[in-house]
Every structure is written in C-alpha cells, then in structure tokens.
Amino acid sequence: MSSDTAYSPSLARAATGFPWAGYLLGFALGGFFDGILLHQVLQWHHLLSAVESSAVQDIRVQILADGLFHAAMYVVAVVGLWLLWRSRRRFVEPGADRLLFANALIGFGVWHILDGVLSHWILGLHRIRMDSANPLLWDLL
C-alpha cells in the first residue's frame, strides 16, 4: 500500500471536520441573523418574550437572555472556525468552496427549523412577531 492511500487519522478528521465546519458556521450565522435582526434591530421579540413571569418580563432580563444566546452562538461559530482551520488542506480540492457554502446553507436552515419548532411551538419562548394577530403566519415566513 502506498503512502498516498494509507489511512491517516488526521486526514480522516479533516474529511469529517470540513462539512461540520460549514454546518456549524451556518448554524451560528442563522442564530446571529435572528438575534441581531429580529431581537435588536426590529425588536419584534426577545429570546424569552412569551415567558409569563414578572421577573422575566423585565427588559434587562430579556436583554441578558439575548446576550447569553449570542454568546452561545459565538461558541458555535468558534468551533466551526476551529474545524475549518483544522481541515484547511481540503480548500485546494475542486468544489471545496461550493461544499462549504452548501453546508453553511444547510446549517442556516437547520437553525431556523430548530428555532421555529423548538423555541416557537414546543417551548413557546417567543414568536417572530409577538404583537401579531396571526403569529403562526410570521413563524412560517
């Protein structure tokens, strides 16, 4: 067996790390998109907007929860960047840029599906437009 075809644990990790780098970076970007655009810029909701508790309804607690959420997204992004760095040898492969972009789009989509199903419908933490007469329509959009 030649050295080119020999099994290498570091090459195997790079092969599996590259797709996960894209997934995690896309997931983090989805979270940042939600948190920055919907929580901060448009102010349509906060992470815990639908939680009915006087302690949680304090805007300072809402902003703290949003900040902790952003910190968690930073951790996900850093792990994605670390995996991307570890698999940097794959950058020279044909189509590596398209694969990374496609995996990031998948991660972005997974974020929105998880957020919609888990945060909006199962846990009921918030909806996209808290002041809407038809919040399901906004969640689906």
Q: What is residue 2's predicted lDDT score, i.e. its pLDDT?
A: 45
**pLDDT at residue 3, as a whole number:** 47
Q: Per-residue confidence of the chain (141 residues) as pLDDT tens digits?
A: 444 445 455 555 556 789 999 999 999 999 999 999 988 888 878 888 778 888 888 889 989 999 999 999 999 999 999 999 999 988 889 999 999 999 999 999 999 999 888 887 787 777 766 666 676 666 666
Residue 5 CB neighbour total at 10 angstroms? 7
How many residues does this entry show for the chain?
141
pTM, to two decimals:
0.80
User: Residue written as tokens 């933490």?
Assistant: 125
**Cα–Cα distance between 7 and 91 in angstroms, integer?**
20
CB atoms within 10 A of CB 91: 11
Classified as helix, coil or strand, 6 is coil
